[in-house]
């Protein structure tokens, strides 16, 4: 299956951010990107991988404390 290449504005919309954020990820080499001439494109899978790598899972505890009801 071919990976869709997204422009910076499309990547920003996908991430729910401004265009500045994906541009910073590219400048800092924190995400995979492709240069097509002078254009920069980001594979959709790179965005999905970035989200997965930065997703914080909730802490699950087996004990719960309940406050006294007055």
Spatial distance between the Cα atoms of 19 and 63, rounded to a whole number of angstroms = 43
Spatial distance between the Cα atoms of 45 and 58, rounded to a whole number of angstroms = 24
Cβ neighbours for 15, distance < 8 A, ≥ 6 positions apart:
21, 22, 47, 51
Q: ∠57-62-66 over CA atoms, to 5°?
A: 110
User: Per the confidence metrics, is the pTM higher than 0.85?
Assistant: no
Mean per-residue pLDDT over the chain, rounded: 91
- CB-CB contact of 45 with 52 (8 Å): no
Tens of pLDDT along 42-61? 999 999 999 999 999 999 88
């Amino acid at each position: 299956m071919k990976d869709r290449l997204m422009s910076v504005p499309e990547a920003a919309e996908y991430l729910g951010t401004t265009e500045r954020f994906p541009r910073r990820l590219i400048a800092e080499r924190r995400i995979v990107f492709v240069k097509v001439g002078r254009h920069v494109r980001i594979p959709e899978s790179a965005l999905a991988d970035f989200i997965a790598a930065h997703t914080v899972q909730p802490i699950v505890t087996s004990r719960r404390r309940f406050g006294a009801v007055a």
